[in-house]
């Protein structure tokens, strides 16, 4: 007799959503989380009265999340107070000029047409393509398992329009952008978003070019911080008897006769379970927690062949004034080619760039309750990466923060430093230490075509029976809605295969 029906390792979005859904199936579920908080990369912490989001700063493409809450007998909107962010973003160039895109497709066409009438017309063609593709993706791709070629065939059968979009998988993000937009100023507003998937525009499939469109379907911020999303799953799960233990690190998955039978904690305690769900990096899971001795040769080679996804530093700033910004998200303008150059000349060589770009998140634009009255919060995501040539993040962090603030003062937020009341930075090395993300990898594994869908570690392990994967490591990959889709997929597979 096992202690639990299901033990879940990690309380990130993938783990906590799967756990709640499994509790809904009537299973006895235990979630083990090594940190003191729910949500992993999608959580929120407080310092001196300011609330900062650890990583994720908005949620969009919310259908998979709505599907998960519907399965729990409730709605996303009932569980989480979602504030819509309109405008969806402002792009700030180094000469100080700004372009702001509203949510409305038509109003965005007007903005683009004001400086490039031809691209303004092509914006509608781009929207037509991406509207239909997004429908197909949400229907047939994101919430379905992609473990085998038969699963892919089922995706096509579910929505045969899938085939029409094969060119989006063969062409790159950059190909799609440059096909639809010719004006450099427009391209500068849509280059950076490829890094939302962890790769430069030349290296990721064109399907990811849906982001500059889906931002106009609605960008949302949960009142109270991003942690409200995993908290809502926790609340729903706990009502159904699910238990969560914090500060509890899993050291080993117990495998006997090629079947997962439970876990061993860092203090040596063994907890038995009929099914184990992993929400942690798949390389760590298979190579460290399970151990190579339990893996067939091909699986060993396969799992070692994955590279970690990119890491990023985050700078959290508490301010005593309202910063001169226009949107919840501001991006520093960069062309697709500029992002590629950064990748090949900086990331691959370990040299941080002099002229950095990235994202400025201003959550108190949407939700004033995150800071004392009249005060504001900024979460900055300047581009950066784990491996630094000739130095390390503990040495580099103060210089990096200083350079970033100096640059932002020059062309984006004049006078910023005079108003800082709280300043913190989480480097990729800190992400590795605090959330056990190897190399600070925010999407666990590379997210290019060779590691997508059937090529990503399976949701239902074929090497170890009774073992299921959720989170960024498995299909459909990193991101808040996608990891929740993975929770949905794992719980559906467990319902089917583990009666
Ligand atoms: C800086 C940043 C910005 C982002 N911005 C966005 C955004 O705006 N929108 C968006 O959609 N996505 C964004 N993302 C991505 C998104 O946050 C993540 O892809 C998603 O939240 C990851 O969920 P996950 O299920 O993979 O779990 P994770 O968040 O990776 O959580 C895994 C959990 O497992 C725990 N754990 C690890 N090892 C063990 C162990 N041995 N025992 C017990 N527990 C363990 C960890 O402590 C952690 O809590 C961002 C990510 C980052 C880092």
Q: Residue 458 — φ and ψ, nearest 5°?
A: -65, 150
DSSP-derived secondary structure letter, 22 = H
Residue to probe by mutation, ligand 1, list 40, 52, 82, most atoms within 8 Å of CB: 40
- Distance in Å, CA 109 to ligand 1 centroid: 34
pLDDT in tens, 196-226: 888 999 998 898 999 999 999 999 999 999 9
Instruction: Give the ligand 1 atom nearest the CA of 487.
Output: 25
The 10 Å CB-count burial string (b at 16+, else e) for 183-197 is bebbbbbbbbbbbbb
Decide whether any atom of ligand 1 lies within 6 Å of the 56 Cβ: yes
Extract the runs of DSSP E, i.e. beta strands, from 125-228: 219-222
Q: Is the CB of 459 under 6 A from ligand 1?
A: no
Output the CA 12–ligand 1 centroid distance in Å.
5
In this prediction, residue 447 carries a pLDDT of 87
User: How many angstroms does the Cα of residue 45 sit away from the middle of ligand 1?
Assistant: 14
pLDDT at 365: 97
Residue nearest to atom 18 of ligand 1 (CA): 479
User: Residue 295: its pLDDT value, please?
Assistant: 95
The pLDDT assigned to 32 comes to 98
Ligand 1 within 6 A of 280 CB? Answer: yes
Confidence at residue 448, expressed as pLDDT on a 0 to 100 scale: 85
pLDDT the model gives residue 307 = 95
pLDDT value of residue 170: 87
Which parts of the chain have pLDDT scores under 50?
A: none
Q: Output the CA 51–ligand 1 centroid distance in Å.
A: 18
Angle CA 132–63–135, to nearest 5:
10
- C-alpha 438 – ligand 1 centre gap (Å): 12
Provide the sign of the torsion angle of the four alpha carbons 345, 346, 348, 350, taken in this order. positive
Burial environment of residue 369 by CB neighbours within 10 A (0 to 12, 13 to 18, 19 or more): exposed
C-alpha to C-alpha distance for 258 and 149, rounded to whole angstroms: 24
Q: Choose one of 10, 252, 360, 472 to mutate for the ligand 1 pocket test, by most ligand atoms within 8 angstroms of C-beta.
A: 10
Residue 11 Cβ < 6 Å to ligand 1: yes
Which residue has the least CA distance to atom 47 on ligand 1? 435
Q: Would you say the CB of residue 55 lies under 6 angstroms from ligand 1? A: yes
Give the H/E segment covering residue 59: strand 59-60
483 lines ligand 1 (CB under 6 A): yes
**pTM score, whole prediction:** 0.96
Number of Cβ within 10 Å of residue 367's Cβ equals: 18
Residue-level pLDDT at 4: 98
Sheet arrangement for strand 358-361? 98-101, 89-92, 329-332, 358-361, 376-382, 314-319, 420-426
């Amino acid at each position: 007799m096992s202690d639990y029906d299901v033990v879940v390792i990690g309380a990130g979005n993938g783990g906590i959503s799967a756990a709640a859904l499994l509790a809904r199936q009537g299973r006895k579920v235990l979630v083990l989380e090594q940190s003191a908080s729910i949500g992993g990369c999608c959580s929120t912490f407080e310092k001196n009265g300011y609330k900062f989001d650890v990583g994720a700063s908005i949620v969009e493409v919310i259908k998979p999340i709505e599907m998960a809450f519907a399965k729990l007998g409730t709605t996303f909107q009932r569980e989480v107070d979602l504030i819509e962010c309109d405008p969806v973003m402002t792009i700030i160039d180094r000469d100080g000029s700004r372009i702001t895109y509203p949510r409305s497709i038509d109003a965005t066409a007007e903005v683009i047409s004001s400086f490039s009438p031809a691209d303004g017309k092509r914006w509608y063609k781009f929207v037509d393509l991406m509207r239909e593709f997004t429908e197909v993706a949400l229907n047939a791709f994101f919430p379905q398992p992609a473990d085998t070629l038969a699963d892919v065939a089922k995706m096509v059968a579910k929505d045969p329009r899938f085939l029409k979009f094969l060119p989006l998988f063969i062409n790159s993000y950059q190909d799609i952008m440059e096909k639809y937009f010719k004006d450099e100023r427009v391209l500068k507003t849509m280059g950076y978003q490829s890094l939302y998937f962890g790769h430069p525009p030349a290296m990721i499939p064109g399907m990811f070019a849906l982001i500059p469109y889906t931002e106009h379907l609605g960008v949302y911020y949960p009142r109270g911080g991003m942690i409200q999303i995993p908290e809502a799953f926790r609340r729903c799960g706990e009502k159904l008897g699910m238990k969560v233990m914090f500060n509890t690190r899993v050291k080993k998955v117990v495998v006997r006769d090629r079947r997962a039978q439970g876990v061993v904690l860092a203090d040596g305690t063994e907890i038995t379970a009929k099914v184990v769900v992993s929400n942690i990096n798949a390389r760590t899971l298979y190579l460290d927690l399970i151990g190579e001795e339990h893996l067939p040769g091909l699986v060993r080679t396969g799992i070692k062949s994955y590279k970690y996804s990119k890491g990023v530093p985050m700078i959290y700033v508490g301010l005593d004034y309202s910063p001169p910004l226009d949107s919840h998200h501001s991006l520093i303008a960069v062309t697709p080619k500029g992002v590629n150059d950064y990748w090949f000349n900086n990331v691959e060589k370990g040299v941080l760039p002099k002229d950095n770009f990235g994202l400025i998140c201003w959550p108190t634009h949407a939700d004033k309750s995150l800071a004392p009255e009249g005060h504001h919060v900024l979460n900055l995501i300047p581009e950066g990466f784990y491996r630094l040539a000739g130095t390390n993040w503990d040495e580099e962090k103060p210089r990096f923060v200083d350079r970033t603030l100096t640059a932002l003062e020059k062309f984006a937020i004049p006078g910023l430093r005079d108003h800082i009341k709280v300043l913190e930075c989480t480097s990729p090395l800190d992400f590795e230490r605090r959330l056990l993300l190897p190399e600070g990898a925010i999407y666990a594994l590379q997210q290019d075509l060779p590691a997508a869908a059937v090529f990503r570690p399976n949701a239902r392990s074929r090497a170890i029976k009774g073992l299921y994967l959720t989170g960024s490591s498995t299909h459909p990959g990193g991101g808040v809605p996608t990891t929740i889709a993975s929770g949905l997929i794992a719980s559906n597979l467990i319902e089917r295969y583990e009666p």
